[in-house]
Amino acid sequence: MKTRTSPWRAAGLAAALFGLCAAGCESLPDSLIWKNPDPDQTRASRDHAKPSEITPRGLEGGMATPISAEEARRTALSRPKVVSVEEPGKTKTEKKYFDVVEERQQTEAAPVIDEAARPVKIVTFDNNSVQKDYPMTFNVAWGRLMEALLELPLSTVDRSSGLIVTDWIRDESAGGSGLTGLNPFAGSAQVIRYKYTIRALDRGGMTQVKVVPHAQIISGQQWTPARPSLTVTERMFTRIERELAVPLPSERY
């Protein structure tokens, strides 16, 4: 047999509940009170789930697409301009020298940009390394790749395996010793150094270039591994693709 609650009793229960809420709901159980999540706890759980990433100040900013119309007229990073080309045994009456100068001037006015320097496939890995495939032969890509790295300290260069490893580079950011970097998660200045492992593979008419970043920070008196941000990798590809886009003088003369 079912028991029916009278309308007067239901109204009394509703009034009592309203009175408790009007008093501030202090007497309600915690399980019935909704609370905003603690932002500090939420941030801490997020940071714990994903390791902090570092970005040296000297590598912050830069171009998202290195090969753009605005950049087409810029000189390659480490490549000197051709001043003259001489062929021993030939006289000046053949005007070889002047032909070269005129061609150089025309190139500066409308530079040759190799469209093969645009990647056709890009793969990003969870350690913030990036792999790109270029429709360019290995011999051409390797020569231009070495031009992009001429000014960097290199510890390993092996053409047969396509392996290039740079030495450690200290963050050359603003002022003084140039050793200050920035950890955007910690919000404090740190001493950072970074390096790259670069591998170029011949894929039969295609060249696959993979850039793996490495970073360390000072902890106490020792260097300890740190997780470099994707910006570190992108800045190296910016450097590489600017050189890949411009034919070497040896390819033209």
Predicted local confidence at residue 249, as pLDDT: 79
Of 184, 188, 183, 149, the residue nearest 169 (C-alpha): 149
CA distances from 168 to 80, 119, 128, 165 (A): 25, 27, 18, 9
Predicted local confidence at residue 66, as pLDDT: 58
- Assign 184 a pLDDT band (cuts: 50, 70, 90): very low
Least confident span in 13-22, 125-134, 137-146, 174-183: 174-183
Predicted local confidence at residue 32, as pLDDT: 43
Predicted local confidence at residue 70, as pLDDT: 59
Q: Would the pLDDT of 13 be above 50? A: yes
Q: Would the pLDDT of 233 be above 50? A: yes
